[in-house]
Amino acid sequence: MNELRFSEISSPIGRLGVVTSAVGVAKVLFEADGIDAERDRIAPAQDIPFAARELAEYFEGERREFTVPFDFRFVTDFRADVLRELACVPFGETTSYGELASRVGNAKAVRAVGGACANNPLPLLIPCHRVLRADGALGGYRGGTEAKRFLLELEGFDVARVR
């Protein structure tokens, strides 16, 4: 059985929880996701996971893409397909829910793609902050709108042009 391990890191957008397994990173949690409850439920990591180092490098402006393996145990096959496609959106660029739906082979699945993004267990590593609404508006983000703005600006995206 793949035992899960928990670690916590500080970031410019608040505390983050990182849940890892022998397969890869299974979750990245924002404070609002219940970091404390997850920490109490999952054994602590024995060392700083590679994902935490990569996230720190990202926030320091030293990393543009992540190389850690993912453990998709918390998503359905369809959502895993959406997340794999979302992981291909380049640093500093954006996409829309409709574009993602087309890229996973079902242009009519816009709402399902939105659900996959909203429930992405690997935010930051799989960049759901790079998804804008079809009308060009910023849209929501589980980590909060200010965090989404911060992340896009960190990547050099001109947030001022977003409604």
Helix, strand, coil abundance in the chain, percent, nearest 5 = 40, 15, 50
> Among all chains, which residue has been given the structure tokens 């849209």?
139
Q: Which residues contact 139 (CB under 8 A, 6 or more apart)?
A: 131, 132, 133, 148
Q: How many CB atoms lie within 10 A of CB 162?
A: 16
Please list the active-site residues. 128
